[in-house]
Amino acid sequence: MAKTIVVRTGTPAKQPRGAKSEAVVGAKARAIAKSEPVAAKKKDGKTRNPLAPERVAAILDALRKTYPGVVCALNHRGAWELTVATILSAQCTDVRVNLVTPALFKAFPTPKAMAAASLPELEELIRTTGFFRNKAKSIQGAARVVVEKFGGKVPQTMEEILTLPGVARKTGNVVLGSWFNIAVGVVVDTHVMRLSRRLELAGTTPGSTAPEKVERDLMKIIPQDRWIAFSHELIHHGRQICVARKPKCVDCTLERLCNSRDKTWSSH
């Protein structure tokens, strides 16, 4: 198992603004793509050596250039708010969560306040995020554990944070990485899962598509000091360019490195 390290990336942003700029398009995107090597194709939809260190490095290079300084898209002012927002983001868009959380945190600004809230009050405030009854139980349960077991502070280890109701490795990685700058693993959400498969980095064989397995496979090939940023970069890329049904390959800075079968445009 990889050793936990703290990535020194500066003071955590207290109100993330999402990517610093929109995804590059047109000529700028193609200019970045041209600075990276072409990934040789083995056959349609398959790269000759998808996990070659130089290809992985080129993908990381292109993502870093495309999304410099990218941060978590969930608005938050602390570890507790980020924990709650990430729990609410399950089966829900970050945009919707960001619309709901201001009123929620105004009504119940601390774990102690949320622990003492009634479930109907919580349910009403988060109703539009979907699965609101289960989510209300989770965030209230997490609040109680944080108050009773951790003195009102979100813990800073994966082992401890996983004891909070509603928190699995994805949420743990989001909170530890985005707020505490602690690189324990790689956030694997739907975008990271989908793009990892398209880029043939993980999840491409039977039995390898479980989020935990995809995370382990990515941790083997991505340098640990890039785990946090890589997740954010891939998530933003999946939302803006490499969309599910019709990827915008003509505007993709990874285009020359990708041999996915469902590409919509190719320069090589």
Neighbours of 253 (CB within 10 A): 27
**Burial call 65-74: b when 16+ CB within 10 Å, e when fewer:** bbbeebbbbb
From residue 17, give the alpha-carbon distance in Å to each of 72, 77, 98. 8, 12, 11
DSSP, residue by residue, 28-72: HHHHHHHTS----EEETTEESSTT-HHHHHHHHHHHHHHSTT---
Q: Active site includes 112?
A: no
Compute the residue count for the chain. 268
The first and second tokens of residue 186, run together, are 């790689």
From 94, 106, 135, 189, the catalytic residue: 189
DSSP, residue by residue, 88-130: HTTTS-HHHHHHHHHHHHHHS-SHHHHHHS-HHHHHHHHGGGS
From 94, 135, 170, 217, the catalytic residue: 170
CA–chain centroid gap for 235, Å, is 5
Angle between helices 190-198 and 211-221 (to 10 degrees): 60
Q: Active site includes 170?
A: yes
From residue 43, give the alpha-carbon distance in Å to each of 33, 202, 264. 21, 18, 17
Active site residues: 170, 189
